[in-house]
Amino acid sequence: MDAQDAKRHAFEAGLSDSLRAAFRNAAEATAADGELMFPYSVSRDLAKAVACRNYAMLILQLCHLVNIADANGEDGWEVLFFSGKRASSSAFRGLIAERLERRDWRRAGFEVTIEGIVISYEDGRFNVPFARMPVLAALMYFLLETVGYKAADDAFSQMLQKATRQQAVSKAANQISRQLYEYLGDHLRAAQEQGKFEQIVSYLSEVNGGGEAEISDAVILSFWCMQTEANEDNDFKQYRSALRAFVAFVKAIEGGKSKGAVARPASIGQDRNAGEISPDILTADMELEGEWQSPLPLLESEPASRIRFLNNREQKDVSLLMDWGPLATAWPLSLLRYETFGFTQSRLTQAARSGTVGAEIDKIASCTDTENFIRRVERIGELGVHASETLKASAWILHQAAHDDADSEDDTVIDAHMLAARRAFKKLNRQGFDEVVQSNMDLIAGHRTGMEVMLSVRDRLAAWHEIASEIDASPPGLEGQFEADTECFKNGFHRLYGENG
């Protein structure tokens, strides 16, 4: 593939590979302890801000945070963002306090409150809440990957020369916003996105001869198969990309329906001066009232974040199901295909990029190593059981905290449910589930919040598992379905990655 092809290919998604890589670097940054720097919810918020181009306010807050960081120590503003600690409100609070113990603020006008830092400028006041700092830090990481460190540092350095004036901070924020806007202009192609929308509309229109079409698992799979036969290069040839496009399509349709017929300008992101849609509206549209929101981010925030309800693997296994919410139950086979055949296709893509020999690619493309549906469904079931067990354990903890004679362990006094809860508590060997919890009010609060989340998780998993069981109960069953899908995907993969692909 020559450079021209590479560029074209890079933009087929509407998003350049550089932009995706930059976001990934930010989202997957690790702390000194090897854990992800940013909670999943923070990365998601950053993704929304970038996707909607709704970052101006965030950048302004970030510039104020840089001012705080610069005044908080002598090592430069960078130290606050690259301390190696996981980005949480408490971590920022602790880090700033630690540095203040070594030396006071380098200049006047900074005040630590319970909620955050208040900066008193010559021309106004500004508050940066601790709770906001993780997403601001994520934005900083993203900016450094896109706009670049030198450009950002130039803007910050100029700002810090007049650090006592809010005007200087606003100026820096505008400068950086412009730079990011220009970067995104080069790396986001609205035209490609529009093309994809049209493609899906066109396809769905044909499904039922122009009438209403039910978007089912079969429709999505058929769409993908069709793409594998097409000559032009596009990322719909990736099953996962195709499926996600349908997720975006459905969300856009649902969003469009609920907003009603409101006259709006033609398109987004072309020229703000031309009076296009303000990105703020879009962000609001993304979070419609009544629309499904994954509860998992609550597990990453305090007070629940102190308790290890789900480990990294479990989090990864449930995240898609929880993100899609109703769509996961509407498209159970699509989700299974995403996790199984979608993973196989990722391997094929990597192998093709790295120049792996044809025989090895053929082996992967044959799908003999692909995890089957039954095993996948079993894992979802196991996760559901785990969710139940953590609920019981949390219940036991809360029960003990609520009763004075917590030492009494007479079986005849405890009812059967609590007995099971106690057993679950004793079996669970995780952070936040030990004896000490019962005297720790923060952890108790964490369990209360976490229980609500885990209830939702358990219910979602149980609902989905039930649907999967129904599919298995009716012909051809999960095994039969997997065999049929294997043929379909195998053929598609050979078309795409075989010697003539």
34 vs 405, beta carbon nearer other proteins: 34
Distance, in Å, from the CA atom of 257 to the CA atom of 47, rounded to the nearest integer, reads 24
57 counts as binding other proteins under rule CB under 8 A: no
Q: Based on the shown chain and the rule CB under 8 A, indicate whether residue 188 belongs to the binding site for other proteins.
A: yes
Shortest Cβ 261–other proteins spacing (Å): 5
Which listed residue (225, 284, 286, 420) binds other proteins by CB under 8 A? 286
Cβ neighbourhood burial of 252 (10 Å; 0-12, 13-18, 19+): middle
Which range touches other proteins (CB under 8 A), out of 245-253, 301-309, 474-482, 488-496?
245-253
B/e letters for 355-387, b = 16+ CB within 10 Å, e = fewer, are: ebeeeebeebbebeebbbbbebbebbbebbebb
Question: For other proteins, what does the binding mask look like between residues 31 and 50, x meaning CB under 8 A?
Answer: ------------xx--xx-x
Of 240, 386, 392, 460, the residue at the interface with other proteins (CB under 8 A) is: 240
Q: What radius of gyration, in Å, describes the C-alpha atoms of the chain?
A: 26
Residue appearing with tokens 């952070």:
431
* Binding map of other proteins across residues 367-406, x = CB under 8 A, - = no contact: ----------------------------------------
* Residue 364 contacts other proteins per CB under 8 A: no
Residue from 290, 353, 474, 500 binding other proteins (CB under 8 A): 353
Judged by CB under 8 A, the residue of 96, 144, 380, 387 near other proteins is 144
106 binds other proteins (CB under 8 A): no
- Tell me which residues in 8-27 interact with other proteins (CB under 8 A): 13-15, 17-27
How far, in Å, CA of 278 to CA of 350, rounded? 38
> Binding residues for other proteins, how many (CB under 8 A)?
85
Beta bridge partners, 110, equal 119
**Is there a contact between 471 and 216 (Cβ–Cβ < 8 Å)?**
no
Helix (H) or strand (E) holding 351: helix 341-353
- Alpha helix (H) residue ranges in 130-165: 133-146, 149-161
Per-residue x/- mask for other proteins, residues 198 to 217, rule CB under 8 A? Answer: x--x--xx----xxxxxxx-
* Binding region for other proteins (CB under 8 A) out of 55-63, 223-231, 251-259, 292-300: 251-259
**Cβ partners under 8 Å of residue 42, min gap 6:** 87, 134, 135, 138, 300
Shortest distance (Å) from residue 84 CB to other proteins = 9
Q: Which of residues 437-456 bind other proteins (CB under 8 A)?
A: none
With CB under 8 A as the contact rule, the residue among 41, 90, 164, 267 that binds other proteins is 267
318, 322, 325, 328: CA torsion to nearest 10? -20
CB closer to other proteins, 25 vs 174: 25
Per CB under 8 A, does 150 bind other proteins?
Answer: yes
The gap between the terminal CA atoms of the chain, to the nearest Å, is 13
CB closer to other proteins, 57 vs 419:
57
What is the Cα–Cα distance from 396 to 420, expressed in whole angstroms? Answer: 9
Q: For residue 311, count other CB atoms closer than 10 A to its CB.
A: 12
Does 252 interact with other proteins (rule: CB under 8 A)? Answer: yes
Contact flag: residue 290 with other proteins (CB under 8 A) = no
Interaction residues for other proteins, span 298-337 (CB under 8 A): 326-327, 330-331
Least distance to other proteins, CB of residue 319, Å: 9
Nearer to other proteins, 34 or 260 (CB): 260
Place of tokens 């596009």: 234
Collect all residues with Cβ–Cβ distance below 8 Å to 286 and sequence separation of at least 6. 48, 52, 251, 255
